[in-house]
Amino acid sequence: MKHYTDKKFWDNYFQGRTLRPLEQTPFADIFAEYLTPNPTKHVFEVGCAGGIYLAYLAKTFGYHASGIDFSDEIEQTRVLFEFHKLSEPTLYKEHFFSFHPPHLYDVVLSVGFVEHFEDFQNIVRRHAALVAENGTLIITMPNFAGLQYAFHWFLDRDNLRKHNTRIMNLASFKNALTGLPFKIEYLDYYKTFGFWTERKNLAFWEKPVFWGIRKLGKLLQVTLGYDHPNRWVSPHIVYIAKKVKI
């Protein structure tokens, strides 16, 4: 399967990142609506280096936390749990494609992972294979399609190439688990607008473009509100599916 990134990229991406307050965790509103506290449940995050999502779910919902990542920076996840005085997570430093889980999980989560691979259906089904009966699968990815594609092409082209933008649409998710015992509970774009770039230094001519995009976003948020999902400039896609009894 074609990978758009490698271990070196992710080691560099997470290296030296500061501990982030859990109160600032993205998608907290989605988690609150579709998950319930239960200290007997187990959550598993695919691509857990950094650890903010896994730590947030462990702290907020009381879940036993596990996760996998092949990056050396997976140790940041352990440090984050220690910082917030959470029970030590079970972490697997290995490749997801060779992983054999010791058991199935009540919640399986990945944030910004699936879009770095060519075979989208295969990668989503590998996530689904980890979900226990009546469990929940949550997958999010950035939306670099629509106008977002143009924004990133102008200002962050190298990072854009690290993403499979062809699968950044709702139809990709609708077809991903065809034939498997999953019921879609939520599938939509997330929020009205958001834009970021991984580049640290913009050229002088790029800065007006960047601020013009930001101003457009502010205008849309004032006009439409902050929660008006759309395929053109919404920053993310969120998919939630429940594994049902056959």
72-113 residue pLDDT tens? 999 999 999 999 999 999 999 999 999 999 999 999 999 999
pLDDT surpassing 90 at residue 32: yes
Q: Which domains does the chain have, with CATH numbers?
A: 7-243 (3.40.50.150)
Q: Tell me how far apart the alpha carbons of residues 12 and 38 are, in angstroms, rounded to a whole number.
A: 35
Q: Is the pTM of this model over 0.85?
A: yes
Token pair for residue 190? 């997330």
Residue 160: which residues within 8 A CB-CB, separation 6 or more? 144, 149, 152, 153
The rounded radius of gyration (Å) of the Cα atoms in the chain is 18
Which pLDDT value is given to residue 20? 73
pLDDT surpassing 90 at residue 14: no
Which pLDDT value is given to residue 2? 79
Which pLDDT value is given to residue 23? 87
Average pLDDT value for the chain: 95
User: Beta partners for 108?
Assistant: 44, 137
